[in-house]
């Protein structure tokens, strides 16, 4: 794994701080209820620093939905896997660690916000794409040339192709923390069951 420098970690922390505050302010006041100035004042940075990371507050809000991930911990845990672990094993652990209950909940909140504020929609899709790109980079780094890149991308896109319909409710899956109600569709499965089904298909070659 490529060791990250102190400067990189500091930049990552700054970006996450600004993004998290932007997301929290949106939940509290709505997208129109605050400005970039409010974000930087609460975070303790300047507008120039904000501009180094984001083109607009909408981008920061969307990025804030995915800022709960601890990349360093993720990389450490993955490197503890056995050397003989298959690419599918690596991907399974990566997805289990990346798609936490908190992250899925925040992505769902972001989706609901994008329905209220359509200007957020492209940034929501951008945040999803960035999450997928991070997973791709991590998996390619871990595989260290052991696996065909086409196979690697095929597996990743198979998984992330199911994430959008999962978050927006097109799949009959109960999100983590979501209870069964009278409105729940018959045959709904839990998130863990969904994940196991997806990987069962992949193991069988779907």
Domain 1-64 matching CATH 1.10.760: the answer reads: no
Give the residues across from 189 on adjacent strands.
Answer: 173
Contact indicator for 18, 10 with CB cutoff of 8 Å? no
Note the pLDDT tens digit of each residue in 95-128. Answer: 888 788 888 889 989 999 999 999 999 999 998 8
The candidate with the shortest Cα–Cα distance to 68, out of 108, 36, 104, 29, is: 104
**How far, in Å, CA of 163 to CA of 94, rounded?**
14
Note the pLDDT tens digit of each residue in 129-184. Answer: 888 888 888 788 777 777 788 888 888 888 888 888 888 888 998 887 777 787 78
Decide: helix, strand or coil at residue 86: coil
Domain boundaries in the chain? Answer: 1-64, 69-168
């Amino acid at each position: 794994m490529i060791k990250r420098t102190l400067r990189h970690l500091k930049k990552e922390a700054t970006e996450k701080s600004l993004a998290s505050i932007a997301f929290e302010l949106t939940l509290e006041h709505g997208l129109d209820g605050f400005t970039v100035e409010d974000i930087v004042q609460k975070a303790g940075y300047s507008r120039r620093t904000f501009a180094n990371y984001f083109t607009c507050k909408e981008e920061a809000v969307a990025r804030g939905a995915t800022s709960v991930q601890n990349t360093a911990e993720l990389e450490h845990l993955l490197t503890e896997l056995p050397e003989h672990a298959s690419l599918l094993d690596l991907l399974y652990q990566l997805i289990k660690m990346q798609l936490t209950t908190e992250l899925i909940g925040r992505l769902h909140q972001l989706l609901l916000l994008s329905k209220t504020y359509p200007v957020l929609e492209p940034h929501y899709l951008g945040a999803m794409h960035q999450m997928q790109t991070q997973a791709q980079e991590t998996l390619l780094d871990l595989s260290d040339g052991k696996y065909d890149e086409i196979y690697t991308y095929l597996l990743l896109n198979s998984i992330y192709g199911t994430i959008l319909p999962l978050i927006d409710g097109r799949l009959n899956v109960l999100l983590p923390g979501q209870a069964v109600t009278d409105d729940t569709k018959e045959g709904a499965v839990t998130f863990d069951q969904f994940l196991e089904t997806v990987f069962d298909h992949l193991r069988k070659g779907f």
